[in-house]
Structure 1
Amino acid sequence: MKQSVVLYPSAGTGHVVPMAELAKVFINHGFDVTMVVVPEFSSQFKRVAAANPSISFHVLPPVSPPPADVAGSGKHPLLSMLKTLRRYNEELERFLCSVTSRQHLHSLVIDMFCVDAIGVAARLGVPAYTFAPSSASALAVLTQVPTLLASSQRGLKELGDTPLEFLGVPPVPASHLNAELLERPEEELCSTVASVFRRGMDTRGVLVNTFQALETRALQALGDPRCVPGKAALPPIYCVGPLVGNSARDPPARAGERHDECLRWLDAQPERSVVFLCFGSMGAFSQEQLKEIATGLDKSGHRFLWVVRRPASSIFDPKRFLGRQPKLDLDAVLPEGFLERTRGRGLVVRSWAPQGEVLQHPATSSFVTHCGWNSVLEGVMAGVPMLCWPLYAEQRMNKVFMTGDMGVAVEMEGYQTGFVKAEAIEAKIRLVMESEEGRELRVRVAARTKEATAAMEAGGSSRVAFAQFLADVRSTRHNVCKL
């Protein structure tokens, strides 16, 4: 009988997609994998489930009364999501009991936001591990932030761009921490998020979507007791990435035409000639900013493929957070005549493009990105230099790491103010596409690509780390109480 692994993701593309890729790794090692889904988030998993028939998906029964809808709760979506996950602990426990009664349960792997499930696993004697879909560098910072907050009475927002020193990473401006952590320490949002990051280290180990050579300093820090004060022993860190793939990003059926359009258009472009702009599943700009981007692209004279989403005043608009977006009229949001003037050398698509395939295409030369970690890894795997335009979550920290120790990107000036001017967009595109600095950047990224490829090959660091994880689970199972 095969051993079974249960994966427990939270909401959001940046968490769902890499966990689906992790599921494939388990399946390739001979495990049955079930991904447990909270019903309020189930719509986000439909595409993943359709693209991955080898993964079983189990939607937990709805709780009664149902949790408040994220869009109408009045709370920050992250707080609402955490509360919703917490309310499903009993249903998760019932499901885990049913699995262990039918087959051999190897482990429970939880998303970093599903920390309330740690207690469930402990009660059942199920080995629990955390999966961090973010960078090891961000994880190192976030595990150190609770100590920093404990020493701050007024919060970190007033520090502005003051560089903060953390083990394992370059100095990080205070303003670049997750926005939720810049509130006063006693505020619910700040204290809850800080607690989540601290508790994520309370499992038997942490699987991280990265590879050893990319984040050596940060990984060393995560083994230093100063990184997580107060813990008698730190959990082992397993670098199992880069976990990237196209299958979990497959579009809805109606997007098939756009998929083909993007790739056909790239096929007609010269090699390494196209700037690709894509800002993630929640990357939204004001109409004024969209027009500024269009003007910068127009003036640069370079070929481009640009994914545009409906303008929004806030990244965390509840409907956008849940993926509900109305159809976009490009002519209404872009400068008059822009589409006509750039016809032939530019392509603008609504809402979605096959990002992995675009980045791997020979015509793609550079990538303007929001610095979501999935996108960063896809850029590294494709050997494409990146221009950083971070928007939310840990993306500003990723910018620091990408332009610092990793050496795979340059920053788009002006993102700190919330508005990037056309002149800055034009200048940075020209820098990456035309200058000696851009050529040196391309060489550094190519070296990272070789390291990433080597990590995932037989005998590579990530393959070895996953094997070590499996060995560690086996060696500790005699301490696990069977139901």
Structure 2
Amino acid sequence: MEQKPHIALLPSPGMGHLIPLVELAKLLLLHHDFHITCIIPVLGSPSKAMKAVLQALPTSIDHVFLPPVILEEEEIKGLKLEVQAMLTLTHSLPPLRDVLKPTRFSAFVVDPFGIDALDIAKELNISPYIFFPSNAFALSLVLHLPKLDETVSCEYRDLPEPIKLPGCIPIHGRDLLEPVQDRTSELYKMFLSNTKRYRLAEVGPIQSGSSNQVDKSESDCLRWLDNQPHGSVLFVCFGSGGTLSYEQTNELALGLELSGQKFIWVVRTPNNESADATYLSDQTLGNNPLAFLPKGFVERTKGQGLVVPFWAPQAQVLSHGSTGGFLTHCGWNSTLESIMQGIPLIVWPLFAEQKKNAALLAEDLKVALRPKTNKNGLIDREEIAKVVKGLMF
């Protein structure tokens, strides 16, 4: 009997890159009945959310965790998230080779931050592929970037007029992807170089909405939703690792309370350093995030909302009949999950390509509202309450 082709998939660290590769794995299994192994690099310990996704995979999809990468704080301090992800992958290359070498893999798939791993595939005579998990808007930028680089002399964010990309709405330079915001950086140069190297085949979008499935009896938020009126609940979640400052967390809490709107809020411990500071770490190992909410907030909003620490089964929450809106950081996985369920959005971008996604959703597709920041760069409680009411009433 002929042996099934065996495919290896390597996502970059973090849930945002794991989920689309998992969805790709499911489709490869469904349509081709391949044997698939997901090889997972991690910075520190795997998160609860990551384990939940991997444990829910079909039995024909295996997963292997590479040894955890431990980076000293001095080593990563001040580094952008994308650089931290690539550094984690670089440290993971020797054990990756050890995983790939004994098995006869037919193909090896990485995402754009794992391109260095393709050298190992070439060494072991495994067919290499790159999976681009973002949207066509981002892809248009990637393909057009060499021309932009030639014709624009300043930083893109300093351009007085919006940038016109083929097939896209005009977008301000400040809303482009994080890797292109500093043209002097090595990250930008790498990004620019990679845009010229590879051929493309369109395969998406591939989101099934089935990631993070959990037993309803084990989820407080799903049981709580069962008791709420249809379309009455605003789901508030900033992805698998987005964090707000202490002051912004306070304003969001008071804004939700002021709105009078029913809500489920997935809360993380605030961080004043960076919105992506916890993206590559397991936040559940830290402080109880509920301790940082305004005094008395949880008690005052007990009949109005539910506060959930760290993580919730997002796909199931968004598909629940009681959910009527989604306040989101605009990660592309979250965006696809909400659009698939017909859920309108409040967009609150934090990092990576999320500002671009927010512009797409609010200005082009017109399925979202985007709150305004005040002169101090905060979205204040009054603005939050106004936008929530505008979406939900």
Question: Is the Cα–Cα contact under 8 Å of residues 39 and 63 in structure 2 kept in the other structure?
Answer: yes
How far apart are residue 167 of structure 1 and its match?
1.0
How far apart are residue 162 of structure 1 and its match?
3.6
The CA distance in 2 between the partners of 1:71 and 1:318, in whole Å, is: 12
Alpha-carbon distance change, 189 to 417 in structure 1, aligned in 2, over 3 angstroms = farther
How far apart are residue 368 of structure 1 and its match?
0.6
The CA distance in 1 between the partners of 2:86 and 2:375, in whole Å, is: 28
Aligned residues: 384
Which residue number corresponds to residue 12 of structure 2?
Answer: 10
Alpha-carbon distance change, 120 to 329 in structure 1, aligned in 2, over 3 angstroms = closer
Alpha-carbon distance change, 374 to 119 in structure 1, aligned in 2, over 3 angstroms = same
After TM superposition, list the pairs within 5 Å mapping 1:390-469 onto structure 2: 390-414=349-373, 418-434=377-393
The CA distance in 2 between the partners of 1:153 and 1:134, in whole Å, is: 27
After TM superposition, the score normalised by the length of structure 1 is 0.72
The CA distance in 2 between the partners of 1:114 and 1:235, in whole Å, is: 17
Alpha-carbon distance change, 7 to 343 in structure 1, aligned in 2, over 3 angstroms = same
The CA distance in 2 between the partners of 1:347 and 1:237, in whole Å, is: 40
How far apart are residue 239 of structure 1 and its match?
2.0
Alpha-carbon distance change, 429 to 92 in structure 1, aligned in 2, over 3 angstroms = same
Alpha-carbon distance change, 326 to 41 in structure 1, aligned in 2, over 3 angstroms = closer
The CA distance in 1 between the partners of 2:375 and 2:211, in whole Å, is: 31
How far apart are residue 269 of structure 1 and its match?
1.0
Q: Deviations over 1:57-76 (max 9, x none)?
A: 234579xxxx7716441333
2:36 is aligned with 1:33? yes
SS for the counterpart of 1:189 is helix
How far apart are residue 17 of structure 1 and its match?
1.6
Counterpart AA for 1:36: I
Which residue number corresponds to residue 286 of structure 2?
Answer: 326
SS for the counterpart of 2:169 is coil
How far apart are residue 107 of structure 1 and its match?
2.0
How far apart are residue 9 of structure 1 and its match?
1.1
Alpha-carbon distance change, 97 to 288 in structure 1, aligned in 2, over 3 angstroms = closer
Which residue number corresponds to residue 184 of structure 2?
Answer: 186
Which residue number corresponds to residue 310 of structure 1?
Answer: 269
Which residue number corresponds to residue 455 of structure 1?
Answer: none
SS for the counterpart of 2:203 is strand
Alpha-carbon distance change, 124 to 260 in structure 1, aligned in 2, over 3 angstroms = closer
Question: Is the Cα–Cα contact under 8 Å of residues 37 and 59 in structure 1 kept in the other structure?
Answer: yes
The CA distance in 2 between the partners of 1:411 and 1:124, in whole Å, is: 48
SS for the counterpart of 2:82 is helix
Q: Deviations over 1:434-460 (max 9, x none)?
A: 2xxxxxxxxxxxxxxxxxxxxxxxxxx
Q: Deviations over 1:227-276 (max 9, x none)?
A: xxxxxxx42222251243233x769xxxx98x522112111111111111
Alpha-carbon distance change, 323 to 417 in structure 1, aligned in 2, over 3 angstroms = farther
The CA distance in 2 between the partners of 1:416 and 1:170, in whole Å, is: 27
How far apart are residue 369 of structure 1 and its match?
0.6
Counterpart AA for 1:81: A
How far apart are residue 191 of structure 1 and its match?
2.0
Question: Is the Cα–Cα contact under 8 Å of residues 172 and 400 in structure 1 kept in the other structure?
Answer: yes
Which residue number corresponds to residue 158 of structure 2?
Answer: 158
Which residue number corresponds to residue 322 of structure 2?
Answer: 363
How far apart are residue 425 of structure 1 and its match?
1.2
SS for the counterpart of 2:336 is helix
How far apart are residue 93 of structure 1 and its match?
4.9
Counterpart AA for 1:85: L
2:167 is aligned with 1:168? yes
How far apart are residue 408 of structure 1 and its match?
2.2
The CA distance in 1 between the partners of 2:167 and 2:354, in whole Å, is: 17
Which residue number corresponds to residue 109 of structure 1?
Answer: 109
Mean Cα displacement is larger for which, 292-301 or 148-157? 148-157
The CA distance in 1 between the partners of 2:112 and 2:339, in whole Å, is: 23
Counterpart AA for 2:288: L
Which residue number corresponds to residue 71 of structure 2?
Answer: 69
Which residue number corresponds to residue 313 of structure 2?
Answer: 354
Alpha-carbon distance change, 32 to 404 in structure 1, aligned in 2, over 3 angstroms = same
The CA distance in 1 between the partners of 2:5 and 2:114, in whole Å, is: 23
2:106 is aligned with 1:80? no
The CA distance in 2 between the partners of 1:131 and 1:336, in whole Å, is: 46
2:335 is aligned with 1:376? yes
Question: Is the Cα–Cα contact under 8 Å of residues 414 and 420 in structure 1 kept in the other structure?
Answer: yes
Q: Deviations over 1:336-390 (max 9, x none)?
A: 3332322212111212122111111111111111100111111012211111111
Query: Percent identity between the aligned chains?
Result: 35
Alpha-carbon distance change, 403 to 415 in structure 1, aligned in 2, over 3 angstroms = farther
Counterpart AA for 1:339: V
Alpha-carbon distance change, 240 to 3 in structure 1, aligned in 2, over 3 angstroms = farther
Which residue number corresponds to residue 223 of structure 2?
Answer: 264
Question: Is the Cα–Cα contact under 8 Å of residues 387 and 411 in structure 1 kept in the other structure?
Answer: yes
The CA distance in 2 between the partners of 1:7 and 1:91, in whole Å, is: 15
How far apart are residue 151 of structure 1 and its match?
3.9
Alpha-carbon distance change, 112 to 187 in structure 1, aligned in 2, over 3 angstroms = closer
Mean Cα displacement is larger for which, 293-302 or 47-56? 47-56
After TM superposition, the score normalised by the length of structure 2 is 0.87
SS for the counterpart of 1:109 is strand
Alpha-carbon distance change, 297 to 366 in structure 1, aligned in 2, over 3 angstroms = same
Q: Deviations over 1:286-306 (max 9, x none)?
A: 222122112222222221111
Q: Deviations over 1:185-240 (max 9, x none)?
A: 232233234444x16x61xxxxxxxxxxxxxxxxxxxxxxxxxxxxxxx4222225
Counterpart AA for 2:178: A
Alpha-carbon distance change, 273 to 319 in structure 1, aligned in 2, over 3 angstroms = closer
SS for the counterpart of 2:9 is strand
Mean Cα displacement is larger for which, 314-323 or 342-351? 314-323
Q: Report which of the two has the higher share of helix.
A: 1
Which residue number corresponds to residue 22 of structure 2?
Answer: 20
Alpha-carbon distance change, 42 to 308 in structure 1, aligned in 2, over 3 angstroms = closer
Alpha-carbon distance change, 296 to 58 in structure 1, aligned in 2, over 3 angstroms = closer
SS for the counterpart of 1:142 is helix
After TM superposition, list the pairs within 5 Å mapping 1:207-356 onto structure 2: 234-247=199-212, 260-315=219-274, 318=277, 320-324=279-283, 325-330=285-290, 332-356=291-315
5+ residue gaps in structure 1? 203-233, 435-483
How far apart are residue 418 of structure 1 and its match?
3.8
